[in-house]
Amino acid sequence: MKKILLAFIITLIGFAVQAQEKKNKNAKYDIEVKGNCEMCKKRIEKAAYAVSGVKSAVWTADNQSLHLLLNEEKANPLLVQESIAKAGHDTEKVKANTDDYGKLHSCCQYER
């Protein structure tokens, strides 16, 4: 009876370990972020780094893309996009509100 109980407990532990979702500490994402110039680049990257868990953030104007490396245990791409939108830049999932967009320098106001 002890052997059966022990086998049952070991089986349950095995299932519990497999069921846990593993978070990636070095997850890579590419996010579309609207902007125009070097001032935009600095603002977008600063807003991304303001989110705890972001390890790397590089925005390129050529393809309007932010390359992210982040710890999924601390952050997710949506949090980063919300931070960038608060800085005035539209992302693929979160749009900046009119007031935040209006605060951008004239050369940074992209076509919406």
Helix (H) and strand (E) counts for the chain? 4, 3
How far is C-alpha 92 from the geometric centre of its chain's CA atoms? 12
What domains are defined for the chain?
Answer: 23-108 (3.30.70.100)
Q: What is the mean pLDDT of residues 36-40?
A: 96
pLDDT tens by residue, 53-84: 999 999 999 999 999 999 999 999 999 999 99
User: Helices 77-86 & 38-49, crossing angle to 10 degrees?
Assistant: 130
pLDDT tens by residue, 87-110: 999 999 999 999 999 999 999 999
Do the Cβ atoms of 84 and 66 come closer than 8 Å?
yes
pLDDT at 101 (0 to 100): 96
**Among 80, 31, 34, 32, which residue's Cα sits nearest to residue 54?**
80
pTM over 0.85: no
How far is C-alpha 39 from the geometric centre of its chain's CA atoms? 21
